[in-house]
Structure 1
Amino acid sequence: MARTKTPPPPPAHQMRQTTLFDALPRARPQQPQARRAHEPDALDQKLDLALSAVFGHQGFRPGQRATCRAAAQGRDCVVILPTGGGKSLCYQLPAVITRGVTIVVSPLLSLIEDQVSTLISLERCGGVPAAHLTSSTKETTSRAILRELHSAAEGRVDYPTLKLLYVTPERLALSENFRDVLEKLHRANLLARIVVDEAHCVSEWGHDFRPDYRKLGQLRSFLPGVPFMALTATATQACESDLRKSLKIKPTAHAHRTSADRPNLRFGVRDFSDCSPVNAAASFFLSHTSRVDGVWAPPDATPPKPSPRQERHTRRVALMASGPRTHPHTGTPSPLPPHAADAYNAQEDVRDAVVDFVRRRAGQCGIVYCMTQADAEACADHLTDKLKDVGTTAHHYHAGMTQLQRRVVQAAWQQGKLDVVCATIAYGMGIDKADVRYVVHASLAKSLEGYYQEAGRAGRDGRASECLMLYRDQDVGKVQKLLRGFGRKKRRGPKLQRDLDRLDDMARYCGMKDGCRRRQLVGHFGKDPGPSSGGGPCCDLCDARNPALRPPAPPPKPPAVRKRGPPVPQPRVRKAPEVVDLLGDSDDEVLASKRARA
């Protein structure tokens, strides 16, 4: 019987290697699933790996993955996320996985130092190489940074050690040497991207416009092809259009804009305006007029200009309202006129209200924003003096302190050794502290954009937090004086008018009697969040309408029972004919007799 021949084995290049996967039972074919926005690829794997290994996060927040992909692919990006929405990760993560150095333009030294210290102290990866070139950078450090960038740009080393370099807009505007370094890095293909943080400062429609930010668009002329990324939390539609035009961002750029709503924040306003007749009449006048060319006037009337005497009186009242003054030689307190004394008492009432608010939250971390440096120091001293019994510590923070003093206060607050920081608006922009439970504004903010950004420092961990505004009518005049400027720096023109209009919106928000403050704030940025769900914090006006949150009404008093005694006889008084008309008597006969005698 003939034996069958065994077929020859296939060629080596056609042989399939047997793996452990071949021994596994085959699963039944499943129905095709819906296709995702994009299939995971090598870039997604790199992003996920860096997100976990470097930053220690397990997943992306909404919009972060798409923005990081667009940035890593070299596209322009415009990102508008609410405070605490993860804007920093949108440029820090692409900087880690791409070749070259990322230049980050940021407006505040405190923000820059906080970002750099956070990056270099990441424990999972041993820290991300980051540095800053600002006025606070030591000369030796600045030279070392520039020397390393020059070496990488000239080919003496393969790539720069730094991944992120933070600079101020003044550095880009004034330093020709630094611009030369950027040009060399660009020619060597080692300039990854230019990031403009707090990009609302670029636009003249923004609440914090800075001229040096406006010059950033000039970088496009000598850095062609370098992608730009603009990030902000508070930008209206007009502000976004203006910053796109200023930075020359292409219409095809990746854009991600979400609602500015922060559902975990509760907003409230307490009115501490002086209720004297003069201020009551002023409040009525302000509520029934509008500002035209910087002057309050009825909408259908020609706006009158204030006389020099009125301007001097306004300055005098604002000066006296800041507190009691002392004689320059004797040191004795000078008496205040009644209206200034009332304003000073109202300011003391505001500070006492801050003390009561913080006392009920002893042990929690918070920020108290004040209008001036003197107000911040006085508020911090008042809190320290009144809250010794509960162990609450407070300190002031403003631009009048030295750099070392500001660093000490910021480090103590970040590490939890300091409970409350009483600061001017220069503090808090971009500060990444998650457990801030409340933000109190002891004076009126200049705009809704600025107020929402400052209030957004609270509740970055997603837990319920409070944002309280202590409002006084006197603050409107004080802010107007600050906006108009003094002496040679006095402002005029359409920019001043826009700032005054923003102040009007802020005062209108504080004067709301119905509606919802949260919807008013979020709707200002172009997207109405809709009515509150009722289950979480919202605002004081919504709480007043919610029966579950309304305080119980006191029980009604029983009506007083009057015992009826015997009737008291009343003497009969005969009216004189002369006073009949005055008393309203309508007896025709009496009136006829009176006319006959006349």
Structure 2
Amino acid sequence: MVELMDCLTKTFKLASLRFNQGQIIKATLEKQYTLIVMPTGQGKSLCYQLPAVLADGVTIVVTPLKSLMHDQTSKLTFIGNVTLQIKVSTFSEGSDYKKTIADLKGSNPKIKLLYTTPEMLCTSQTLKAAMESLRMHNKLAHFVFDEAQCIVSWGNKFRPAYKKLMWLHNSYPNVPFMALTATASPDTKLRIERLLGLKNVMSVDRPNIKYSLLNSSNVTVTNVAENIKRNYPNCCGIVYCITRDECEKVTAKLRAENITCQAYHAGISQNTLQSAHKLWMDGDVQ
């Protein structure tokens, strides 16, 4: 516990843990399977980042979007602790790529957190070889699945790689898993556990969080804009759309209602996406 609190204060510059974080981190360090349902902004990321720093090995974090990887790594880099090396696993050619692979295949890797996508995890032979090397050296610490609801909601057609993640449990039965999400019904939680092959899971939920569903056929963009102005005038949020075209149209209509917003989808250039993401994170768009 002393080492944990020392890491919390010196590495993460935090004075104390929030609700349930201590329980989750303790379970993770004890190599338990964990499923965390906790609202955005309540410190889910620390629940795996702190154990990753303390662990003797590499924690592999599976996340659906590169923007989420960059968000997490930029925050960790901002902490400024030189002993904490974070790599975003895009596996593009270049010096960083080669250095990352060389480090992972060494007997004592310096990398603590390696971020990747489910597609890379399932298809990259280079990554698989690096993971085998980590196992041989007993340096594969944890698997973490951020935004774990995507395993269920995106796994059928949109991101089929999510449905293939069972191989990780079969190949690495002694490596503990952690799944994190801000939203999951009891059925979704059970499906996440089944699709990842999790057993004897310690589940942490926040039952006081309520969810509401609205029929989109009865709601116009004007209604959405009025709701934002009335109930969330100084907040940031996300409006999800089914298609890219709908995303562009909704963005244009919200702007016409004087809502500052940016479109964000796979048809937009990476530079524009990064700019939109930064504007949103900084609170410059709603």
Give the TM-score taking structure 2 as reference length.
Answer: 0.85
Q: Is the CA contact 1:81–1:260 (under 8 Å) kept in the aligned structure 2?
A: no
CA offset at residue 352 of structure 1? 3.8
User: The residue matched to 2:111 in structure 1 has which SS?
Assistant: coil
1:419 matched to which residue of 2? 285
Which segments of 5 or more consecutive residues in structure 1 lack a partner in the other structure?
1-43, 274-346, 421-598
CA offset at residue 406 of structure 1? 0.3
1:20 matched to which residue of 2? none
User: The residue matched to 2:41 in structure 1 has which SS?
Assistant: coil
User: The residue matched to 1:367 in structure 2 has which SS?
Assistant: coil
Q: Is the CA contact 1:146–1:181 (under 8 Å) kept in the aligned structure 2?
A: yes
Partner Cα distance (1:196, 1:268) in 2: 25
Partner Cα distance (1:184, 1:165) in 2: 14
User: The residue matched to 2:262 in structure 1 has which SS?
Assistant: strand
The letter for the 2-side match of 1:411 is K
Q: Is the CA contact 1:201–1:213 (under 8 Å) kept in the aligned structure 2?
A: yes
Q: Does 1:131 align with 2:87?
A: yes
Q: Is the CA contact 1:194–1:229 (under 8 Å) kept in the aligned structure 2?
A: yes
Partner Cα distance (2:114, 2:255) in 1: 39
Structure 1 residues 242 and 368, CA, compared in 2 at 3 Å: closer, same or farther? closer
Q: 1:249-300: per-residue Cα shift (whole Å, max 9, x none)? A: 232x4332331516xx9x7969984xxxxxxxxxxxxxxxxxxxxxxxxxxx
Partner Cα distance (1:260, 1:165) in 2: 33
1:335 matched to which residue of 2? none
Figure out how many residues of one structure are paired with residues of the other and give that number. Answer: 282
Q: Which moved more, 1:175-184 or 1:71-80?
A: 71-80
Report the identity percentage. Answer: 32
Please, which of 208, 231, 255 is the counterpart of residue 203 of structure 2?
255
CA offset at residue 126 of structure 1? 4.9
Alignment of 1:56-205 (within 5 A): 56-123=13-80, 125-126=81-82, 128-134=84-90, 137=92, 139-150=94-105, 152=106, 155=107, 159-202=108-151
Q: Is the CA contact 1:82–1:259 (under 8 Å) kept in the aligned structure 2?
A: no
CA offset at residue 179 of structure 1? 0.9
CA offset at residue 361 of structure 1? 7.7
User: The residue matched to 1:160 in structure 2 has which SS?
Assistant: coil
Which segments of 5 or more consecutive residues in structure 2 lack a partner in the other structure?
none
Alignment of 1:429-468 (within 5 A): none
Q: Is the CA contact 2:61–2:114 (under 8 Å) kept in the aligned structure 1?
A: yes
Partner Cα distance (1:351, 1:211) in 2: 31
> Could you say which structure has the greater relative contact order, defined with CA pairs below 8 angstroms and 6 or more residues apart?
2
Alignment of 1:154-553 (within 5 A): 155=107, 159-202=108-151, 206-209=152-155, 210-251=159-200, 253-259=201-207, 261=209, 273=218, 350-358=220-228, 364-367=234-237, 369-371=239-241, 372-385=243-256, 387=258, 393-416=260-283, 418-420=284-286
1:340 matched to which residue of 2? none
Q: 1:316-366: per-residue Cα shift (whole Å, max 9, x none)? A: xxxxxxxxxxxxxxxxxxxxxxxxxxxxxxx8xx34444545556897243
CA offset at residue 73 of structure 1? 2.3
Q: Which has the higher helix share?
A: 2
Partner Cα distance (1:174, 1:271) in 2: 37
CA offset at residue 168 of structure 1? 0.5
Q: 1:511-531: per-residue Cα shift (whole Å, max 9, x none)? A: xxxxxxxxxxxxxxxxxxxxx
Partner Cα distance (2:109, 2:26) in 1: 23
1:556 matched to which residue of 2? none
